[in-house]
Structure 1
Amino acid sequence: MTSPYPGRPDVLVVGAGGSGAALAARLSEDADRRVLVVEAGPVPRAPSAFPPDLLDARLVPGARPGDPAVRTLPARLAPGLPYRAARGRVLGGSTTVNGGYFVRARRADFDRWAAQAGEELWSYRRALPFLRALETDLDHGATPLHGDRGPIPVRRVDLRHPAAAAFQAAARELGHRPDPDKNAQDPPGFGPVPSNAVDGRRINTGIAYLLGGALDRPNLTVLGGHAARSVVVRRGRAVGVVVEHHGRRAVLEAGEIVLCAGALVTPHLLHLSGIGPAAELARAGIPIVCDLPAVGAALSDHPQVVLEWTPRRPPEEPTGSWLGGLLHLSSSGGEDAGDLEILQSLVPMAGLVSGRTTVPDAPLPFLVSVQTPRRTGGVRTVSADPDVPPRIEYGYLQDEADRRRMREAVRATAAITATDAFGEVSSGLVAPSPATLDDDRLLDRWIRTRLGTSQHTCGTVPMGDAVDARGRVHGLTGLRVADTSILPTAPLRGPAATAVLIGELVAHAMRRRSG
């Protein structure tokens, strides 16, 4: 019987998601480099092999409890607020189950990351050619800001849906500036959402980078159903990964290991390998390989609440995407322009969680988040058993400034719904009430009872403290991290586009063989 495992590869990539698919595809462009990818979830070999609902851009599979393409991890958003953090477990990772929001980070993010990494590689100037190279912008084509030959198609959503048009008119009525290209670096305001969905079809990174031809290369192998359990380190060098497939474990050795398992799984995998805060790992019964306190010490994400409004008449079914308009505002006294986000859904929450595009008599939502760069919470491993999940703490809204920003975001959303323009389609907010909106304590309480997260986790293996600018893990050789774990803080926009950029940048560094 032929073994499913190729000979010892040059690079073993753990995870075929937003970063891993891009990294593997780029590395395998060099015919003399053998690349093996192990993915915990299934790996369809053609776009038609994906369940149709995973590619329907009007749906958000990650919002559906129990979806087989999603893994959830127990977490706490704040003391006393349990949560289930959803991540994609399929080719394409979370880009297969998320909302298809594909917005670049802001220049301020790149400046911050470059300073923290101590490396100009992460400046906006250096990153822009890679941002252009990873996309085919179907609205702008080739320009100094946009590319027309990359794997990821990018198209801005249509604002002709009556609810989206009303949102646009309401933003104009309130004097918010237009922001038609969210992937430029213009002052923040209202505009359509750039999305990696075309004609109602989500194009995840697995389809874009791997199924577009890379999987036909003889030097690239992608194995589904292989969950990484730990990294094998000998004399300070990572030499392989323990994987589990159908209940059986094997050690796959490689010249270099790159972890692309995501900002919650990657730090846990490092901990299980003895790489992390020594005292905590010892308490969990894990032998210490490398004392690296920054691994899992904190995380960066964006707290979110949902505000629902009642349509005056049955809303039209969305045709191309669940996404409508997108408004970015700046919090008072903040240093980061556009750190408050109001994202419109054209599908009711009851539809997002059940996989339906319309629900009779259901209200429609705004997803309201604070995207100020913050590091809180953390990922702490409590057992040497890989089946015991880590303790994930988001640590949201513990600071008065964070609570103030969230109040501002909620009130700004309520102001949108109170305009004459939005009144053409809406009979008002479901909640909070005017009395609650006017009282800080009541509004804080309302927010807390409805608190969620944007699922934008970053910063659990941060550049500067745990890895260098090229993802190399401090204190070891042969081991890198290339996913949103390495971003010290989450960007001012959702990180899907930045996750792909990470794969591109780390692959470029590895191909140059200079870092």
Structure 2
Amino acid sequence: MDRRADVLVVGAGGSGAVLAARLSEDPGREVLVAEAGPAPRVPAEFPADLLDARFVPGARLGGAAVRAVPVLLAPGTPYTAPRGRFLGGSTTVNGGYFVRARREDFDRWAAAAGDDRWSYERVLPLLRALETDLDFGDAPEHGDRGPVPVGRADPSGHPAAAAFEAAARELGRPGEPDKNAQGAPGFGPVPSNVRDGRRANTAIAYLLAAAHRPNLTVLGGCAVRSLIIDRGRAAGAVAELDGRPVTLEADEIVLCAGALASPHLLHLSGVGPAADLERGGIRVVHDLPSVGVALSDHPQVIVEWTPRRPMPAPASSWLGGALHLPSTGGHEAGDLEILQSLVPLALLPAPGLTGGTVTAPGAPLPFLVSAQAPRRTGGLRTVSADPGVPPRVEYGYLETEDDRRRMREAVRAAAAVASTAAFAEVSRGLTGPDARTLGDDRALDAWVRARLGTCQHTCGTVPMGSAVDAGGRVLGLEGLRVADTSILPVAPLRGPAATAVLIGEVVARAMREERG
């Protein structure tokens, strides 16, 4: 069985669902979407736990909506990175954190791309158009008519969040009531793509809202294995649809499979660093050295505290407040993040965030502590021509003294929050690290390494400027684009979920303008 369209979109996640919906607004353009995971036809077909914003489905690695990718965070530190495998991609299984990148992120990306289409001033109209801000409405930096609802839970509505806010104030940290503006970093509620406790993934916000269009076809259970590239032009893709081989042909192909899957698919198709591809037994079609050569993400550790009394379940989201602050010599926009979870992580004594329940009596509550300075480290190397063999993914965390110093500062900042009189109203103290470890750099480095995780903010594997242009076009090939967070040269200072949606908007605009 073969299929043909004007545009083939590979992956219906944070960017792909957006791109496909926007392109299909043109009734003269046939858009075909290949999504490897299940593709519900109406919102009611989504399992309830995938839409309940008090859960993080991606924390449950055994879930049917998650694809597990083996990675190395640092030498000797294996990890399993979850990726969404369901319509809406990672926006269906992530935490609903929907915070915009900072102005300096956009300036950095525009400079790398050599194109001011990525400057803050140029993208702001698109940021406004993609949202319905439930708190600020129609304002200079916000919109009230877009497909994605964006709201913020009042910290006063939960005793742990209220204590965090009071602790930040006690430490002299400024308030940051709107983290989607460009004010000074500080404490504030977390913008989330949530309305009435329900996660609005891009499948529901964009794609299903466009499902009635006759020029839009979505194939669920359709896993693309490689691209067909003929004489410098992408002409189609080889895929499996419900286990059967199928060829998908298109005038233009856009990879939106994510920052790990998109470079892997390029490699399998012979596009990437020639020497690496040859070592993996892959015939080189187009030597493009920067594909997968490095990646950008943010190291994270969990710092837990013990409540003095049972905490209530959150009303609408697992997220409490967030504190952003600069590291020593760091960014004015705040490159350290302390993100509060109102749901326990631990499986014992009862399932919490990782087990699919919103309370776990007796369990500690976590701060998710990370260093988010822009860094390119690690990389992704494809080791086999067999699509079933995962690539070797290395994050390269904690390689430099600056990396380790930032993480020490972030953990110590979380400990400072827990040591305030305001936070002591709800907390008996941290479960770790203890005072001795906090006071010893080498001991704290060891504590961090033993608990090292990642924010799942992967970017930079197919970077603008050296692999694609500002509109996602793969350099040196015709008919092929990439539109997901892999094109961001470095990860933003805040998590990239909102930026993934923006990428779909930016690339769709570029394709519309080029079509005329």
TM-score norm. by structure 2 comes to 0.98
Q: How many residues align?
A: 510
Partner of 2:192: 195
CA deviations over 1:465-515 (Å, ceiling 9, x no partner)? 100000000110000000000000000000000000000000001011269
Instruction: Please tell me whether residue 80 in structure 1 is matched to residue 76 in structure 2.
Output: yes
State the distance in 1 between where 2:447 and 2:264 align: 33
User: What's the offset of the Cα at 1:157?
Assistant: 1.8
Partner of 1:98: 94
Match of 1:167 among 155, 161, 164: 164
CA-based RMSD of the aligned residues comes to: 0.9
Partner of 2:276: 280
User: What's the offset of the Cα at 1:336?
Assistant: 4.9
Partner of 2:28: 32
* Contact 1:336–1:372 (CA under 8 A) maintained in structure 2: no
* Contact 2:303–2:369 (CA under 8 A) maintained in structure 1: yes
State the distance in 2 between where 1:457 and 1:514 align: 31
Of stretches 102-111 and 330-339 in structure 1, the one that deviates more from structure 2 is 330-339
Match of 1:142 among 117, 138, 158: 138
State the distance in 2 between where 1:217 and 1:504 align: 19
Matches within 5 A, 1:234-383: 234-350=230-346, 351-383=352-384
State the distance in 1 between where 2:208 and 2:240 align: 24
Of stretches 155-164 and 322-331 in structure 1, the one that deviates more from structure 2 is 155-164
Instruction: Please tell me whether residue 450 in structure 1 is matched to residue 451 in structure 2.
Output: yes
Partner of 1:416: 417
The alignment partner of 2:32 has SS state of strand
Partner of 1:431: 432
State the distance in 1 between where 2:44 and 2:405 align: 47
State the distance in 2 between where 1:146 and 1:263 align: 28
Partner of 1:207: 204
Instruction: Please tell me whether residue 155 in structure 1 is matched to residue 156 in structure 2.
Output: no
Instruction: Please tell me whether residue 181 in structure 1 is matched to residue 178 in structure 2.
Output: yes
State the distance in 2 between where 1:23 and 1:282 align: 33
CA deviations over 1:280-328 (Å, ceiling 9, x no partner)? 1001111010000100000000000000000000111111000000000
Residue type at the aligned position of 1:431: G
Residue type at the aligned position of 2:444: L
Identity of aligned residues (%): 73
Partner of 1:58: 54
CA deviations over 1:438-486 (Å, ceiling 9, x no partner)? 0000000000000000000000000001000000001100000000000
The alignment partner of 1:256 has SS state of strand
Residue type at the aligned position of 1:191: G
Instruction: Please tell me whether residue 109 in structure 1 is matched to residue 105 in structure 2.
Output: yes
Instruction: Please tell me whether residue 220 in structure 1 is matched to residue 221 in structure 2.
Output: no
User: What's the offset of the Cα at 1:210?
Assistant: 1.2
* Contact 2:184–2:332 (CA under 8 A) maintained in structure 1: no
User: What's the offset of the Cα at 1:334?
Assistant: 1.8
CA deviations over 1:369-396 (Å, ceiling 9, x no partner)? 0000000000100000000000000000
Instruction: Please tell me whether residue 489 in structure 1 is matched to residue 486 in structure 2.
Output: no
* Contact 2:326–2:336 (CA under 8 A) maintained in structure 1: yes
State the distance in 2 between where 1:46 and 1:218 align: 16
CA deviations over 1:397-447 (Å, ceiling 9, x no partner)? 100001000000000000000000000000000000000000000000000
CA deviations over 1:185-241 (Å, ceiling 9, x no partner)? 0010000000001111111000000112x0100000000000010110011000001
State the distance in 1 between where 2:261 and 2:334 align: 30
State the distance in 2 between where 1:500 and 1:230 align: 25
Unpaired runs of 5+ residues, structure 2, are: 347-351
Residue type at the aligned position of 2:374: P
State the distance in 1 between where 2:331 and 2:44 align: 46
Partner of 2:389: 388
Residue type at the aligned position of 2:497: A
Residue type at the aligned position of 1:170: A
State the distance in 1 between where 2:496 and 2:15 align: 11
State the distance in 2 between where 1:336 and 1:473 align: 33
State the distance in 2 between where 1:322 and 1:247 align: 37
State the distance in 1 between where 2:82 and 2:98 align: 18
User: What's the offset of the Cα at 1:335?
Assistant: 3.9
* Contact 1:108–1:336 (CA under 8 A) maintained in structure 2: no
State the distance in 1 between where 2:242 and 2:190 align: 40
Unpaired runs of 5+ residues, structure 1, are: none
User: What's the offset of the Cα at 1:158?
Assistant: 2.6
State the distance in 2 between where 1:66 and 1:146 align: 38
The alignment partner of 2:93 has SS state of coil
State the distance in 1 between where 2:192 and 2:283 align: 44
CA deviations over 1:154-191 (Å, ceiling 9, x no partner)? 00123120000000000000000000000000010000
